[in-house]
Every structure is written in structure tokens, then in C-alpha cells.
Amino acid sequence: MASPTLMQCLVAVSLLSCVAHAQLSPTFYASSCPNLQSIVRAAMTQAVASEQRMGASLLRLFFHDCFVQGCDGSILLDAGGEKTAGPNLNSVRGFEVIDTIKRNVEAACPGVVSCADILALAARDGTNLLGGPTWSVPLGRRDSTTASASLANSNLPPPTASLGTLISLFGRQGLSPRDMTALSGAHTIGQARCTTFRGRIYGDTDINASFAALRQQTCPRSGGDGNLAPIDVQTPVRFDTAYFTNLLSRRGLFHSDQELFNGGSQDALVRQYSASASLFNADFVAAMIRMGNVGVLTGTAGQIRRNCRVVNS
């Protein structure tokens, strides 16, 4: 029988091996699927050219995946109720684009690339195609075999959230208040349904009156729940710092947006991001990489789904 000292060494080596194995790497598919990045980029270029909003939709889809069980592709599963949980119902979109990319990737490298990694790359490319930064995406995630409606309902920040709630929900994922504010800058692109901002434009006092009136034109007090409005009133399909500039003039579309600049702990950072695109982009990239590491499955955990919508039989 091994001595306690030897056993401790073996355990330590085993743990180090697990930690090393769990590290994602931008070169994970360098030999097993060398054309992966160009395949994803080509499909995303076509998708965004067809509908600019799709860049924002894929970025949001990745965010909603990572906050529920980690970045494991669980939101892509038709079963399990995550897709239809409160924060996602009639809201998350872009599944068909992921399906297309997955088919293209499977044709080139069957059974090799996870849906979770495809989603991470699509989110990066969607951001970049709308004028945002690009970055090396750490890869090597595997796909979950389960989805969770309950975690979607409890973990995803609602548009009515207070600053304290936002900090708490991001903190639950190991993300700092600075990460939270940088990631919120994703709202510089995309559109929102009337039902998500009605309470703000009719009930909040920390809102620019002309901006509220503008949004009320397409979002009545009742009805029209699905009517869309750009989250960033200035440059709705351009990834830039206008989102933060809007907050300085009380033109945040969601209550949760304006909470970032409302006499609280993030006011100074919002001013800094508004004034410096380079600072915002750098912090956004760092926060995206940190978020992309949340709860990942690696090694032999999970599986590589053949179809992103269903667990392998």
C-alpha cells in the first residue's frame, strides 16, 4: 500500500492534471478542425449581412447560455425548458444560425467541435462584424446533456433589476462589478421588446422626457408587447460607446441600464467608458473571456452534440 505521503503526491498530481485539462485554449482545434474559425466567420458574415440585428442576438444567446449551468450550450437544447423560461421566451433568437454553422462544421470535422464553442465563436464574430473588437476565443468546451429552466429564471438579470441585484447576479458567476458594467455595454447593439421597457418609459423618473416620449410612440401602456425599439437610440447597429453616453443623459432603455449611472458605484466607470472606446473594448474583451470560462465542461464531461438541439442518443 502506498504511503500517505505518496498518496498525497498522487492526489496532487491528479488535481493538477485536472486543472490543466480544464484550461481552454484558442488553439484547441488547430489540428482536429483547422478551418473552424473561417467556417464560423463565413456563416456569421452572411447572417449579419442578411439581418444586422443577428450580431446582437448571437451575443445575447451566448450570455444567456453562460449564466445558466455555465457556457455549455444548454440553451440550444429544445428539451429541458431553458429556451422557454421567462427571460428567454419570445426573446432569445439565432438558433437557426447556430444550426447552419453546426452543419457546416460537421461537414468539415464531424463529431469534433462542440455547440458551446460554436456559440462562443459566433458571439465574438457577431460583435466584430458590427464594429466591435475581436479576440482569441479560448476553446475546448463540451456540451451539456441537460438544460435548466429554473436556473434561467433565477440567474438571468431582468431588465427591472437594481444595481445591487445586477452586482449580485454577476457575482454569482464570478464576475466583478467592472465586468458587469463592461458586459452591459453589449446593449450598444440590438433591439428590445416593448414589454421589457414599458415600466421604465411610463414609470421611472430618472429618464429623459423626450426620450421617454419617443419610445412611447411605439410602446403603448397596454398592448404591443412585441413592438421593437433599439436599445441604443444613437447607433443601434454599431458596437461603440454610445450606450454609455446615453446613460449620461438618462437615455438608458431598461431600468437596469440606467442603474449603472444613477448615483451609484458604477457612475465613474460609465463616464470613463463613454470617453474612451479603447478602455471599453479592452474591458469588454477581458470580461467576455472571463464569462466564457464560467462552468465549462471539458475532458470527458458532457458530449459533442451532433445536433445542437438534441442530446446524442
The residues annotated as belonging to the active site are 64
The neighbouring-strand residues paired with 237 are 189
Decide if 205 contacts 258 (C-beta within 8 A): no
**Has 106 been labeled as part of a binding site?**
no
**Has 235 been labeled as part of a binding site?**
yes
**Has 188 been labeled as part of a binding site?**
yes
Task: Provide the b/e sequence for 260-270 (b: ≥16 CB within 10 Å).
Answer: bbbebebbebb
**Has 206 been labeled as part of a binding site?**
no
**Has 65 been labeled as part of a binding site?**
yes
Q: 177 CB contacts (<8 Å, ≥6 apart)?
A: 167, 170, 171, 265, 266
**Has 25 been labeled as part of a binding site?**
no
**Has 196 been labeled as part of a binding site?**
no
**Has 70 been labeled as part of a binding site?**
yes
**Has 187 been labeled as part of a binding site?**
yes
Per 3-state DSSP, what percentage of the chain is helix, strand, and coil (rounded to 5)? 50, 5, 45
In angstroms, what is the C-alpha Rg of the chain? 20
Q: How far apart (Å, rounded) are the C-alpha atoms in residues 216 and 189?
A: 20
Could you tell me which residues are annotated as the binding site for heme b? Answer: 187
Could you tell me which residues are annotated as the binding site for Ca(2+)? Answer: 65, 68, 70, 72, 74, 82, 188, 232, 235, 240
Could you tell me which residues are annotated as the binding site for substrate? Answer: 157
Could you tell me which residues are annotated as the binding site? Answer: 65, 68, 70, 72, 74, 82, 157, 187-188, 232, 235, 240
